[in-house]
C-alpha cells in the first residue's frame, strides 16, 4: 500500500509518509494512558485491537487478513481463532432464535 501511495502521490523521498515518528507516537500513547489512568500498551497492541474490532464487526478472516497485511488468512485464523469461536456461538444462538 505504501508503494502505491508513493507511486500515485506527489510524495518525495525526503518527506515522511506518516507525519510522526515511532518515538513521538509512543510518547503520546503513554501520556494518554497515564492521563486516562489505564495500563500502558505497546504500539503493536493497537494492531490487535484493530483486528478484534474488525472481527466483532463480522469481517471475514479474508478481510481481516487483507487489512493486516497477512499473506494468507490462515495466519489470521491462527492468531485470532478464539475470537471467531465467539462468533460461531452467536451464529448458533441466532439460528436457535429463528426456530422459535
pLDDT digits (tens, 9 = 90+) for 21-78: 889 999 999 999 999 999 999 988 999 999 999 998 989 999 999 999 999 999 999 9
Residues 6+ apart with CB under 8 A from 41: 29, 33
How confident is the model at residue 30, as a pLDDT?
94
**How many C-beta atoms lie closer than 10 Å to residue 76's C-beta?**
25
Note if the pTM is more than 0.85.
no
Amino acid at each position: 500500500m505504501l508503494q502505491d501511495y508513493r507511486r500515485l502521490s506527489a510524495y518525495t523521498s525526503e518527506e515522511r509518509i506518516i507525519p510522526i515518528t515511532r518515538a513521538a507516537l509512543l510518547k503520546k500513547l503513554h501520556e494518554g494512558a497515564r492521563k486516562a489512568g489505564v495500563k500502558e500498551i505497546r504500539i503493536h497492541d493497537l494492531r490487535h485491537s484493530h483486528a478484534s474490532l474488525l472481527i466483532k464487526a463480522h469481517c471475514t478472516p479474508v478481510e481481516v487478513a487483507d487489512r493486516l497485511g497477512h499473506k494468507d488468512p490462515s495466519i489470521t485464523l491462527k492468531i485470532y481463532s478464539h475470537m471467531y469461536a465467539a462468533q460461531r456461538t452467536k451464529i448458533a444462538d441466532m439460528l436457535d432464535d429463528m426456530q422459535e
